[in-house]
Amino acid sequence: MAFNIATMLPFFLSFVFLYFIIANGGCELEQKKMFKVQMLQRNHQFGSKGCILPESRKEKGAIVLEMKDRGYCSERKINWNRKLQKQLIFDDLRVRSMQNRIRAKVSGHNSSEQSSEIQIPLASGINLETLNYIVTIGLGNQNMTVIIDTGSDLTWVQCDPCMSCYSQQGPVFNPSNSSSYNSLLCNSSTCQNLQFTTGNTEACESNNPSSCNHTVSYGDGSFTDGELGVEHLSFGGISVSNFVFGCGRNNKGLFGGVSGIMGLGRSNLSMISQTNTTFGGVFSYCLPTTDSGASGSLVIGNESSLFKNLTPIAYTSMVSNPQLSNFYVLNLTGIDVGGVAIQDTSFGNGGILIDSGTVITRLAPSLYNALKAEFLKQFSGYPIAPALSILDTCFNLTGIEEVSIPTLSMHFENNVDLNVDAVGILYMPKDGSQVCLALASLSDENDMAIIGNYQQRNQRVIYDAKQSKIGFAREDCSFI
C-alpha cells in the first residue's frame, strides 16, 4: 500500500512546523494582526469649535481631563498630507537637538557644535510641531488650553499685557483680572531654583529686583519670555494654590492657537512635582489617534480604578541616571516582531527614554537594522516604496484592502511588555502608495533610544515619579 502524498502532506507539514517550534525554543510562533489599510487614513477636517475641552471631572481624588490632538484648536483647516510630511522633518530636528543636549550632559563638555543647543534652557530641544496633545486647565478664574509635554518642566501661558503674542483661540490670560495671581520675586527660592534647574541665568540680571524672568527657546525658533508667577491651578473642580508658572509676555512660534505648554517633566518645577502633595506625583495618559473627534484622557493622580485598561497594568522601574534626571528613562530588555525575539547586545544595558513629544520611536542602528530585517521577512510580498523622510521601510499598498501586520512588542525590566497597537506600527501620510514601518534608526550607535508617541497610542501609560516607575496597559483611548 502506497502512501498518498496528498493526504500525507498536512502531516508532513505539521511535523516540519513542530520541528521549527522546538528548534526555536518552543515559544516562537509568528503573530500577526489583520488590519484594514484604510484605518491608517486620517480623517480630514477639524475647523475649530473654539479651543476649550469641556470634559473634566474629579473622581476618587484624581482628576480626569479630556485630551485631543491640537488640530482641534487650529483656526485653519489642516492639510494632513503636508502636516504629516512636515511632522517627520520636525521630529528629526527634535531628536537631533535632544541627542546633542544628552551628549553634552553625559560628557559634561561643551563642544562648539553643541553650544547653540546648550543655550536652550528649559526645553529639551523640543520641537513644537511634534507636540500633539492638548488639555484645558484653569488658571485663576480663566480657562486655558495647553499642550502637554513630558520633555519639559515649566508650565507657561501667554499673558496680558503682551509685548508680542502669537494668535491664540480665546482670550489671553490676564493677571490683573485675577486676585489670586502674584508675580514671583527674584529673591524667592523658586526663582533661584529656576536658575539652578534650567540655566536661566538671566532671570534676575537687571538691577530691578522685582520679577523673576523666564526664557524658553525651542529648537525651531519659537520662544517665550516673561516672568514667573503663582496662581490657583484648577481642573475638574480641584484647585491647587501657589502653582508656579511662566506668564509669557513675548511669545513667538507655531503653537497652533493654544495658550501655552504644560510641563510634565521630572524636575521639581514641573506640574506633577508641584502638585505632588495633592496627587502623589503620579499622572497617566492615553494618547488617541489624531483623527477628528478622537479623545483621550490625562489623569492626574494615582487612581487606577478609573482607567478602562484592557490588560493588567505592569510597572517597570525607571533607570536612575543623575545626568538625565529630567527625563523618564526605562530599561529596554528585548523586542519581538511577530513573536520572534530580535537579538541585540544592547538590551538591558543602558536605557530608552519615553517622551510624549517625539513622534517616531528611535533605536540604535544595529538594533533597528535587525528589527527591520525581521519585519521585512514577515511582511513580505508587498511592493517596496521609496523612503519617507526618516522612515526607510516603506511599501506600496495601493489597491490592497487588508494586510496582516506582524505584532511589535517591547520588553522592559520586571517582565513588562508594551504591545504596540496596530495603529502604531505603520505610518501612512497620504494614501496606500507609501505606507512605512513607523520606526527609525538613530544616527549613532551611542545615541539615546526614544519611545515616541506614535507607538504609545491606545495605551495607558502611567508615570509614577514618586516611586520611579512607569506602567503600561492596553486601552482604547477615549474620554474615560
Ligand X SMILES: *[C@@H]1O[C@H](CO)[C@@H](O)[C@H](O)[C@H]1NC(C)=O
CB of 126 to ligand X, least distance (A): 21
With cell 513573536, the residue in question is 339
Stretch that binds ligand X, among 92-100, 150-158, 199-207, 214-222 (CB under 6 A): 199-207
Please confirm, yes or no, whether 355 is among the known catalytic residues: yes
Q: Is 177 a binder of ligand X (CB under 6 A)? A: yes
Which is closer to ligand X, CB of 329 or CB of 423? Answer: 329
Upper half-sphere CA count for residue 226 (Cβ side, 13 Å): 29
Q: How many residues bind ligand X (CB under 6 A)?
A: 47
Which is closer to ligand X, CB of 333 or CB of 409? Answer: 333
Stretch that binds ligand X, among 28-36, 57-65, 84-92, 190-198 (CB under 6 A): 190-198
Q: Is 143 a binder of ligand X (CB under 6 A)? A: yes
Which is closer to ligand X, CB of 304 or CB of 443? Answer: 304
3-state SS record for the chain: CCCCHHHHHHHHHHHHHHHHHHHCCCCCCCCEEEEEHHHHCCCCCCCCCCCCCCCEEEECCEEEEEEEEHHHHCCCCCCHHHHHHHHHHHHHHHHHHHHHHHHHHHHCCCCHHHHHHHCCCCCCCCCHHHCCEEEEEEECCEEEEEEEECCCCCCEEEECCCCECCCECCCCECHHHCCCCEECECCCHHHHHHHHHHCCCCCCCCCCCCECEEEEECCCCCEEEEEEEEEEEEECCEEEEEEEEEEEEEEECCCCECCEEEECCCCCCCHHHHCHHHHCCEEEEEECCCCCCCCEEEEECCCHHHCCCCCCCEEEEECCCHHHCCCEEECEEEEEECCEECCCCCCCCCCEEECCCCCCEEECHHHHHHHHHHHHHHCCCCCEECCECCECCEECCCCCCEEEEECEEEEECCCEEEECCHHHCEECCCCCCCEEECEEECCCCCCCEEECHHHHECEEEEEECCCCEEEEEECCCCCC
Pick out residues in 13-52 that bind ligand X (CB under 6 A).
none
The CB density around residue 136, as the number of other CB atoms within 10 Å, is 23
CB of 137 to ligand X, least distance (A): 9
Of 28, 59, 392, 413, which one interacts with ligand X (CB under 6 A)? 413
Q: Is 206 a binder of ligand X (CB under 6 A)? A: yes
CB of 56 to ligand X, least distance (A): 6
CB of 93 to ligand X, least distance (A): 22
Pick out residues in 230-289 that bind ligand X (CB under 6 A).
268, 273, 276-277, 280-282
Site string for ligand X, 333-352 (x = CB under 6 A): x--------------x----
Stretch that binds ligand X, among 79-87, 88-96, 207-215, 364-372 (CB under 6 A): 207-215
Q: Is 302 a binder of ligand X (CB under 6 A)? A: yes
Please confirm, yes or no, whether 417 is among the known catalytic residues: no
Rounded Cα distance, 42 and 162, in Å = 36
Residue from 69, 149, 220, 291 carrying the catalytic annotation:
149
CB of 4 to ligand X, least distance (A): 40
197, 152 Cβ separation under 8 angstroms: no
Q: What are phi and psi of 323, to 5 degrees?
A: -75, -25
Rounded Cα distance, 38 and 428, in Å = 9
CB of 3 to ligand X, least distance (A): 43
Stretch that binds ligand X, among 62-70, 79-87, 94-102, 208-216 (CB under 6 A): 208-216
Peptide bond preceding 209 in cis form (omega within 30 of 0): no
Which is closer to ligand X, CB of 54 or CB of 61? Answer: 54
Looking only at the bridges linking them, the beta strands covering 156-158 and 182-183 are unpaired
CB of 42 to ligand X, least distance (A): 18
Q: Is 195 a binder of ligand X (CB under 6 A)? A: no
Q: Is 108 a binder of ligand X (CB under 6 A)? A: yes
Residue from 153, 355, 447, 464 carrying the catalytic annotation:
355
Of 45, 242, 366, 467, which one interacts with ligand X (CB under 6 A)? 467
Residue of minimal CB distance from ligand X? Answer: 268
CB of 331 to ligand X, least distance (A): 4
Q: Is 213 a binder of ligand X (CB under 6 A)? A: yes
CB of 183 to ligand X, least distance (A): 10
Of 40, 65, 88, 204, which one interacts with ligand X (CB under 6 A)? 204
Catalytically active residues are 149, 355
Q: Where do contacts with ligand X occur on this chain (CB under 6 A)? A: 54, 108-110, 115, 138, 141-143, 171, 174, 177, 185-187, 193, 196-197, 204-206, 208-209, 211, 213, 268, 273, 276-277, 280-282, 302, 304, 319, 331, 333, 348, 385, 396, 398-399, 413, 433, 464, 466-467
